C-alpha cells in the first residue's frame, strides 16, 4: 500500500460519505492511490502514507466512531501527513461562520492538536428531511435552526482536494516504517 492515501469518513446519512468518495475520485484523477473507507472499517491506518479524515457534525459534535478513530490512532496519525474535514452546516455563506468560527468541534481539539494536521476544512452539508427521524427534524428546526437541503459546494471540495494532491505529489513522503 505504499503511496496510498486513506480517505476515512464518519457519515450517518451518506452526505459525508459522498464527500469522501468525491475526494477519492479527485485523488485518483491526480494519479494517486486512495482507499475510501468508513472509519469503522479501518483497523490500522499505518500502511498509508497520508490520511484524510472527514466527519459529519451533529449538533456541534463529531460522532463517537470518528472521535474513537482519532484517539485510537493518534500516534499513527501524528507520524504522517493528515488533513481533516467536517461537513454539516447548511445555509448560505461561509461554512466556518455558520458554525460560529470553529474548524473542529471542541471535543476533538486536544487530540487534533497533538496530531498536527496539515489543514482542517469545514464543508457545507446536506440535511435531507426524508432521511432523518422526527426528533432530529425538530432539533434542526428548533435548536440548531438550520435550513434543510443540499448545500455542499463541490467546487470547494475539489479545489481543497486538488491542493492536497499537489502537496502529496510535490512533497517527498518518507516511506512508512
pTM summary value: 0.87
pLDDT at 152 > cutoff 80: yes
Q: What is the pLDDT of residues 48-88, one digit of tens each?
A: 999 999 999 887 788 999 999 999 999 999 999 999 999 98
Give the tens place of pLDDT for each residue, 82-128. 999 999 877 787 777 777 667 788 888 999 999 999 999 999 888 88
Rg, the chain, Cα only = 16
**Longest CA pairwise span in the chain (Å):** 50
d(CA 126, CA 147): 9
Residue ranges of the domains in the chain?
A: 4-170
Q: Strand runs (DSSP E) across 88-170, as ranges?
A: 119-123, 126-127, 149-150
Domain 4-170: assigned CATH number: 3.40.50.360
- Taking each helix axis as running N to C, give the angle between helix 154-170 and helix 15-29, from 0 to 180 degrees, rounded to the nearest 10: 40
pLDDT for the residue 16: 95
For residue 54, the tally of other CB atoms under 10 A from its CB is 25
Q: Are 50 and 5 in contact (CB under 8 A)?
A: yes
- The three three-digit cell numbers of residue 100, written as one number: 460560529
Amino acid at each position: 500500500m505504499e503511496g496510498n492515501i486513506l480517505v476515512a469518513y464518519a457519515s450517518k446519512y451518506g452526505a459525508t460519505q459522498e464527500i469522501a468518495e468525491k475526494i477519492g475520485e479527485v485523488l485518483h484523477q491526480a494519479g494517486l492511490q486512495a482507499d475510501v473507507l468508513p472509519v469503522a472499517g479501518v483497523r490500522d491506518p499505518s500502511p498509508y502514507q497520508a490520511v484524510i479524515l472527514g466527519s459529519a457534525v451533529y449538533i456541534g459534535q463529531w460522532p463517537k466512531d470518528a472521535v474513537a478513530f482519532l484517539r485510537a490512532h493518534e500516534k499513527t496519525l501524528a507520524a504522517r501527513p493528515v488533513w481533516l474535514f467536517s461537513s454539516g452546516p447548511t445555509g448560505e455563506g461561509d461554512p466556518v461562520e455558520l458554525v460560529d468560527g470553529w474548524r473542529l468541534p471542541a471535543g476533538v481539539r486536544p487530540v487534533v492538536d497533538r496530531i498536527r494536521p496539515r489543514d482542517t476544512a469545514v464543508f457545507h452539508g446536506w440535511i435531507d428531511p426524508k432521511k432523518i427521524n422526527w426528533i432530529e427534524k425538530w432539533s434542526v428546526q428548533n435548536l440548531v435552526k438550520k435550513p434543510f437541503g443540499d448545500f455542499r459546494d463541490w467546487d470547494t471540495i475539489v479545489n481543497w482536494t486538488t491542493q492536497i494532491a499537489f502537496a502529496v505529489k510535490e512533497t517527498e513522503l518518507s516511506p512508512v516504517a
